[in-house]
Amino acid sequence: MLRSLVGSEMCIRDSFCSGSAWETAKASTRLGKEVIVREGFRGLMKGSLIMSSKRAADWTSRFFFVELVTGIVCPPGSERTTLKTSFCGLAGGALSAIATIPMDVAVAQAQQASSSGTKTSTLNLFMNQLKEQGVKETVGFATRGLVPRVAHVAVSTLLMKSFSSYMYEMYRG
């Protein structure tokens, strides 16, 4: 939440655009103090529960799907090549993105709603969307940005899971 406050606060953007790191740091600190005075220390942590839940779901599903695909592509006893390992990382990342895209959209919508001062839960966002727009629109809403998300997650999973494992195996010998 603080990150979105910092990004939308004009005094901070003006300081940042002026090129002065010191001025930006002072403006960010000033904003943090204002949030603490207005809302207490918990105000700095708005959205942290949903963000940490999202991160856990993201990386848990990425590792799960990479291992699932690896079990299919490289059954025990078969040769595990760099090409197969890379494919498993990309495919596992793509499957993870598809599985978690509704949560990503919900997080973005919840952050947008909270930055406008509206307090709403993730479940309420989807329920309202379903009630107002129907199933087809809700599915469209829940999968907004799917192609770029799949590409991003597939490549990051390839690098973080498959490539790092490959480098570890090379190092270990």
Element (DSSP H or E) covering residue 108: helix 82-115
How much is the pLDDT for 9? 54
- CB distance 153 to 63 below 8 Å: no
Amino acid code (one letter) for 35: V
How much is the pLDDT for 119? 66
Higher per-residue confidence, 102 vs 12: 102
83-92, 105-114, 130-139: least confident range: 105-114
Token output for 85: 């390992």
Token output for 73: 């592509």
CB within 8 A of 99, min separation 6: which ones? 61, 65
Averaged pLDDT, 130-142: 75
User: At 122, is the pLDDT very low, low, confident or very high (cuts 50, 70, 90)?
Assistant: low
Assess whether pLDDT exceeds 60 at residue 15.
Answer: no
Mean pLDDT of the chain: 79
User: At 116, is the pLDDT very low, low, confident or very high (cuts 50, 70, 90)?
Assistant: low
User: At 63, is the pLDDT very low, low, confident or very high (cuts 50, 70, 90)?
Assistant: very high
- CB distance 62 to 157 below 8 Å: yes
User: At 165, is the pLDDT very low, low, confident or very high (cuts 50, 70, 90)?
Assistant: confident
How much is the pLDDT for 74? 92
Assess whether pLDDT exceeds 50 at residue 2.
Answer: no
Query: Chain centroid to CA 168: how far?
Result: 26
Higher per-residue confidence, 74 vs 27: 74
Cα radius of gyration rounded to whole Å, the chain: 21
How much is the pLDDT for 65? 96
- The pair phi, psi for residue 76, each rounded to 5°, is -55, 135
Q: Is 32 exposed, middle or buried (0-12, 13-18, 19+ CB in 10 A)?
A: middle
How much is the pLDDT for 23? 77
